[in-house]
């Protein structure tokens, strides 16, 4: 009888240990889950996730990047300006150009690293884009520590953050409407 009482007393402890082990496994599984896609923030619009698949297919480009050792990685993605225009940024009219002249794009990684691009620099390189949002390489999806979306900026590796958390268009100043002569 003494042994059965000890077993009865240890049963809640065993249940607690099993529950704690299960909770630990669930938390570890959540940590191993793929990271969330970055959020796009545009003035006057609700936040929207940038789906990695939306950067592929029609309009996407191969982006070749050579590291200092001469190794080449081919990424697949879309120019940043195209992504912004598809989501409501107007830069093809005089009114749109005036409105966006004092706007910047802040690209923030999950670790907080942030870079900025002016809308003007993106617009001026429209024919030969230099800033891309990419979601895969020629070998497949980006690794979790780089993806699901990263930036590749030709000639400026410091402004090529990976593991993006957000892409935000921010207007620094409002320009007055164009006056007609």
Give tens-digit pLDDT for 111-148: 999 999 999 999 999 999 999 999 999 999 999 999 99
Residues 113, 83: Cα–Cα separation, whole Å: 21
- Say what percent of the chain tops pLDDT 90: 57
The per-residue pLDDT for 4 is 54
3-state secondary structure at position 106: strand
Residues 155, 115, 51, 168: what is their CA dihedral angle, to the nearest 10 degrees? -130
- Whether 180 shows a pLDDT value over 80: the answer reads no
Least confident of 67-71, 74-78, 85-89, 153-157: 67-71
The per-residue pLDDT for 6 is 54
- Whether 28 shows a pLDDT value over 60: the answer reads no
pLDDT band with cut points at 50, 70 and 90 for residue 31: very low
**What Cα–Cα distance (Å) separates residue 41 from each residue in 103, 105, 130?**
13, 10, 21
Residues 42, 71: Cα–Cα separation, whole Å: 36
Q: Please work out, in degrees rounded to the nearest 5, the angle formed at the alpha carbon of residue 29 by the alpha carbons of 40 and 55.
A: 30
Closest CA to 38 of 92, 77, 75: 77
Q: Higher-confidence residue: 106 or 26?
A: 106
Strand order across the 114-118 sheet? 48-49, 39-41, 164-171, 103-109, 114-118
Q: Higher-confidence residue: 57 or 30?
A: 57
- Say what percent of the chain tops pLDDT 70: 81
Q: How many CB atoms lie within 10 A of CB 125?
A: 15
- Whether 30 shows a pLDDT value over 50: the answer reads no
Q: Higher-confidence residue: 64 or 181?
A: 64
DSSP for 154-169 reads: TT-GGG---SEEEEEE
The per-residue pLDDT for 173 is 85
């Amino acid at each position: 009888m003494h042994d059965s009482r000890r077993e009865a007393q240890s049963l809640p402890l065993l249940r607690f240990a099993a529950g704690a082990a299960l909770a630990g496994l669930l938390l570890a599984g959540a940590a191993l889950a793929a990271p969330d896609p970055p959020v796009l923030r545009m003035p006057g619009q609700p936040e929207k996730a940038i789906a990695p698949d939306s950067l592929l297919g029609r309009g996407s480009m191969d982006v070749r990047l050579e590291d200092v050792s001469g190794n080449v990685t081919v990424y697949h993605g879309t120019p940043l300006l195209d992504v912004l225009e598809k989501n409501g940024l107007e830069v093809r009219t005089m009114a749109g150009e005036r409105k966006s002249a004092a706007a910047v794009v802040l690209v923030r990684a999950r670790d907080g690293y942030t870079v900025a691009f002016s809308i003007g620099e993106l617009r001026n390189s429209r024919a030969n884009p230099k800033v891309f949002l990419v979601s895969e390489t020629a070998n497949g999806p980006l690794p979790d520590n780089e993806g699901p979306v990263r930036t590749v900026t030709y000639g400026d590796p410091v402004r090529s953050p990976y593991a993006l958390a957000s892409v935000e268009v921010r207007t620094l100043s409002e320009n007055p409407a164009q006056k007609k002569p």
